[in-house]
């Protein structure tokens, strides 16, 4: 199929990205509705499931070689300090130590965090890299790290973004703690002050969300190996091509000389979208010692040094008319991006979710002496949605309007920035079915439930992108025996990517899914696909697979026409066989066609279609929560979450529910448990482990009801799928917070909502 080059624009998290992409020259025929399909939309078990449950799947954590060496990192114990001396003599004398690198003995290597270096004589957060040890075993490397003597000059530090934004705060970088680029962002439409002036009810509140840490099951890890000038990196990453490019840039070698492989990975949640400094340090030493090097971060390092969801200090002001019409929405927010540049915004839900003519936001992403923020499953949206949905419930109560009716009243039918229609927006349908499923009619007036265990209901809406984008490619190969291999440079984070790729190919080619082999996660063996973030994996790659499979089908039809001496218009393709419509006995199987065409392999590379013109692509949904609050202990029990969403076509019902269950549980954990605690006097993280950093367990998991109100979104792609990774988590904390308020009649404006906060709030009301 003919291709063309276009300029493409898409949203990745909160950034608008411009790129060039190769796309199909003509529109592809959309897939039929799921009810008319045989494979897509069904609950197909994961094709890689057996390998994972039996232990046959090789994760980066499992990768090893006979002569492999092991790396460990010495990290700064202080939040802000200058290194005055490093003494590695004792460590170097330890038997089994191979090499130690640090700022005094390593040429400066540029790093892609602004003007950062691989090592710096100033350490700006507890956990920043000071030295890297490579030894025969991990245990020896750990012992050697403890033997390195470092002299530090401690500096005054700041850990709170509100404090760090003040003029007299310690300066973490030259130029101040609010960088000129992306440090302060503003947005406005209409006239906010006029909207407040014309409102009948005005509510202003402050909201705080704490820092949360990703803590995926598989630790951050890399295995690096040089073969002459060729570097191969087995990495636990969400973006094999982005890792390749950034490491090639840091080492100043061609991208063609770097190969990155991620066959399986055990979760990332956004933190693994970037290359790690540990990979570059391992590569530097590996080249010198001419041996492969493996580095695996422990839980403490993962809690200190590889990313987090930034905190937020939000002030929101809302004005509304007596009939419930929103007149003005305003937000001021401070977020900690840590010691190096990152995003810390939370404005998008307030700016876009509800109809309002007068909106203003002012956000500060502030340097602090803490670990750097990274993307974390719906960056900014989880924090922003919690605050927005909380204050909207308070406004609705002042107006004596049902919170659900209030949201319906302010439904936004089009995108308010561009004034473009959405490709699909079935939020009203989601409200209706979700409310019925949770039993919304049983909701009582806030705080009116009797007894010491009080029940409450709450809801929160969500908006996200997740429409996918080009460039994304997939190569489809059909062999002489009729088996198929699909190659794509994407990653499977544990979400079922292998399976949905196979499903699309199986659907188009009408062959059993068992005959399809999927190869992903290899920058040299597979065509380019974007990083797996922003809920963009499925909607980016499945249209490319669809295009590639259609091309194979077209080649088979063309070959059959020549071999059967029948015009293509008179041929029918069915179940991997092609026959003459008027004479079914005149037929050929796909495998026969490949053989008779004298092809060893029939090959086609498909591409993702051009992004939709004239529309905005978003996902929408609502989550309802049913909770119980014990007013004697402050303990909150979530009984049920209903998740009703418009996310385009369901590709695999089983993996979709897996995603939603994981997102709901993660959102619950963020709402009720998770919080990185930093000692304000020392700047040290006091719960940098999985014992003291509280995460929800199966005992905390409620009943979860997933309802999809959408069919295929044909304006997005011929496949019609949109992403679900982020929509699954975004509304959960807000829904739980509103349900807790409905139960006890007292608003808690900070996350996590822990038992002590509940009791303090109740006692304050007495």
Task: Report the C-alpha gap between 502 and 514 in whole angstroms.
Answer: 9
Which numeric CATH code is attached to 63-155+214-304?
A: 3.30.365.10
Q: Residue 321 is encoded by which pair of tokens?
A: 């008319």
Contacts of 736 (CB under 8 A, 6+ apart): 458, 625, 627, 636, 638, 667, 668, 671, 672, 753
Q: Residue 446 is encoded by which pair of tokens?
A: 């806030």
Average pLDDT, 10 consecutive residues per value, the chain (766 residues): 67 63 82 97 96 96 97 98 98 98 82 70 97 98 98 98 98 95 94 98 98 97 97 98 95 96 96 95 97 98 97 98 98 97 95 98 98 97 98 98 98 96 98 98 95 97 96 97 97 96 98 98 98 97 98 96 96 96 95 92 95 93 98 98 98 97 98 98 98 96 98 97 97 98 98 98 83
- 330, 401, 725 from 395: Cα distances, Å: 14, 9, 30
CA 536 to mean position of chain CA atoms: 9
Where do the CATH 3.30.365.10 domains begin and end in the chain?
Answer: 3-57+469-607, 63-155+214-304, 161-213+307-411, 413-464+619-766
- Please tell me the number of Cα atoms within 13 Å of 61 on its side-chain side: 14
Q: Among all chains, which residue has been given the structure tokens 């089009």?
A: 414
Contacts of 648 (CB under 8 A, 6+ apart): 424, 539, 619, 710, 711, 712, 713, 716, 720, 721, 722
Judge contact between 111 and 118, C-beta under 8 A: yes
Task: Report the C-alpha gap between 545 and 541 in whole angstroms.
Answer: 6
- Nearest CA among 18, 3, 47 for reference residue 503: 47
Q: What is the pLDDT of residue 26?
A: 77
By CB atoms closer than 10 A (0-12, 13-18, 19+), residue 102 is buried
Task: Write out the DSSP string of 84-132.
Answer: EEEE-HHHHHSTTEEEEEETTTS---B-SSTT-BSS-SEE-STT-EEEE
Task: Report the C-alpha gap between 521 and 244 in whole angstroms.
Answer: 12
The phi, psi pair for 422, rounded to 5°, reads -80, 150
Q: What is the pLDDT of residue 138?
A: 97
Which numeric CATH code is attached to 3-57+469-607?
A: 3.30.365.10
Q: Could you say which of 3.30.365.10, 3.50.50.60, 3.20.20.70, 3.40.630.10 is the CATH number of the domain covering 413-464+619-766?
A: 3.30.365.10
Pairing of β 201-209 and β 750-751: parallel
Judge contact between 271 and 376, C-beta under 8 A: yes
Q: Could you say which of 3.30.365.10, 3.40.630.30, 1.10.10.10, 3.40.50.10890 is the CATH number of the domain covering 161-213+307-411?
A: 3.30.365.10
- The neighbouring-strand residues paired with 329 are 318, 359
Q: Among all chains, which residue has been given the structure tokens 């004005």?
A: 319
Confirm whether 726 is a catalytic residue: yes
What H or E segment, with its residue span, contains residue 563? helix 537-564
Q: Among all chains, which residue has been given the structure tokens 């509100």?
A: 162
Q: Among all chains, which residue has been given the structure tokens 């029948």?
A: 566
Contacts of 630 (CB under 8 A, 6+ apart): 452, 453, 636, 637
The catalytically annotated residue of 194, 419, 726, 765 is 726
pTM higher than 0.85 for the full model?
A: yes
- The neighbouring-strand residues paired with 516 are 484
Q: What is the pLDDT of residue 41?
A: 97
What is the arrangement of strands in the sheet containing 312-320, beginning at the earlier edge strand?
184-189, 359-367, 326-338, 312-320, 201-209, 750-751
Task: Report the C-alpha gap between 537 and 521 in whole angstroms.
Answer: 13
By CB atoms closer than 10 A (0-12, 13-18, 19+), residue 321 is middle
């Amino acid at each position: 199929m003919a291709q063309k080059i276009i300029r493409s624009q898409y949203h990745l998290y909160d950034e608008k990205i411009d790129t060039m992409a190769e796309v199909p020259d003509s529109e592809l025929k959309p897939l039929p509705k799921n009810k008319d399909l045989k494979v897509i939309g069904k609950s197909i078990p994961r094709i890689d499931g057996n390998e994972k449950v039996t232990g046959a799947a090789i994760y980066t954590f499992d990768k090893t070689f006979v002569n492999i060496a092991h790396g460990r990192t010495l990290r700064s114990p202080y939040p802000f300090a200058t290194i005055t001396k490093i003494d590695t003599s004792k460590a170097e004398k330890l038997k089994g130590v191979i090499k130690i690198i640090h700022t005094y003995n390593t040429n400066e290597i540029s790093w892609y965090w602004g003007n950062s270096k691989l090592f710096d004589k100033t350490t700006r957060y507890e956990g920043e890299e000071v030295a890297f040890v490579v030894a025969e075993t991990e245990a020896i490397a750990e012992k050697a790290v403890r033997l390195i003597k470092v002299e530090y000059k401690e500096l005054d530090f700041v850990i709170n973004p509100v404090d760090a934004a003040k003029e007299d705060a310690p300066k973490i970088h030259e130029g101040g703690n609010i960088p000129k680029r992306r440090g302060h962002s503003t947005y406005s439409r209409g006239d906010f002050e006029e909207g407040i002036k014309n409102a009948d009810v005005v509510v202003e509140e402050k909201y705080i969300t704490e820092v949360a840490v990703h803590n995926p099951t598989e630790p951050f890890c890399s295995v690096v190996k040089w073969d002459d000038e060729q570097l191969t990196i087995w990495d636990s990453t969400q973006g094999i091509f982005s890792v390749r490019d950034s490491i090639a840039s840091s080492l100043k070698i061609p991208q063609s000389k770097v190969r990155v492989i991620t066959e399986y990975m055990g979760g990332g949640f956004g933190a693994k979208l970037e290359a790690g400094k540990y990979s570059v340090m391992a590569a530097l030493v590996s080249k010198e010692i001419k041996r492969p090097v493996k580095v695996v971060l422990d839980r403490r390092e993962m809690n200190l040094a590889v990313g987090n969801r930034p905190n937020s200090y939000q002030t929101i002001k809302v004005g509304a008319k007596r009939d419930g019409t929103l007149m003005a929405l305003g937000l001021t927010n401070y977020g900690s991006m840590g010691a190096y540049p990152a995003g810390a915004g939370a404005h998008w839900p307030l700016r876009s979710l509800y109809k309002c003519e007068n909106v203003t936001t002012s956000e500060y992403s502030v340097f602090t002496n803490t670990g750097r923020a990274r993307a974390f499953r719906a960056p900014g949206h989880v924090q922003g949605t919690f605050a927005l949905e909380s204050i909207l419930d308070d406004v609705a109560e002042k107006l004596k309007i049902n919170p659900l009716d209030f949201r319906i009243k302010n439904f936004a039918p089009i995108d308010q920035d561009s004034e473009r229609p959405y490709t699909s927006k079935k939020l009203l349908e989601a409200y209706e079915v979700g409310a019925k499923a949770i039993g919304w009619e049983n909701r009582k007036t806030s705080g009116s439930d009797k007894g010491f265990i009080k029940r409450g209901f709450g809801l929160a809406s969500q908006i996200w992108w997740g429409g996918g984008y080009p460039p994304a490619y997939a190569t489809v190969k059909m062999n002489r025996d009729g088996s198929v291999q699909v190659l794509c440079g994407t990653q499977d984070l544990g979400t079922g990517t292998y399976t949905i790729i196979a499903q699309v190919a199986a659907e188009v080619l009408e062959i059993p899914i068992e005959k399809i082999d999927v190869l992903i996660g290899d920058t040299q063996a597979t065509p380019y696909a974007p990083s797996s973030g922003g809920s963009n994996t499925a909607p980016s790659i499945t249209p490319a697979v669809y295009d590639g499979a259609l091309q194979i089908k077209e080649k088979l039809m063309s070959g059959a026409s020549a071999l059967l001496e029948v015009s293509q218009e008179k041929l029918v393709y069915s179940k991997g066989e092609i026959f003459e419509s008027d004479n079914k006995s005149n037929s050929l199987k796909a495998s026969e066609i490949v053989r008779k065409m004298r092809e060893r392999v029939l090959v086609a590379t498909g591409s993702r279609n051009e992004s939709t013109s004239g529309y905005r692509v978003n996902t929408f949904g609502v989550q309802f929560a049913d909770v119980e609050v014990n007013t004697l202990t402050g303990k909150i029990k979530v009984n049920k979450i209903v998740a009703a969403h418009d996310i385009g076509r369901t590709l695999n019902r089983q993996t979709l529910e897996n995603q939603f269950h994981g997102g709901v549980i993660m959102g619950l954990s963020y709402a009720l448990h998770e919080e990185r605690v930093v000692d304000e006097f020392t700047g040290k993280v006091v719960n940098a482990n999985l014992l003291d950093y509280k995460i929800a367990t199966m005992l905390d998991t409620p009943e979860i009801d997933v309802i999809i109100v959408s069919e295929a979104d044909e304006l997005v792609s011929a496949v019609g799928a949109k992403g679900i990774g982020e929509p699954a988590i975004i509304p959960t904390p807000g829904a739980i917070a509103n349900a807790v308020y409905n139960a006890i009649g007292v608003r808690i404006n900070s996350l996590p909502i822990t038992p002590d906060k509940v009791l303090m709030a109740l006692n304050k009301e007495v």
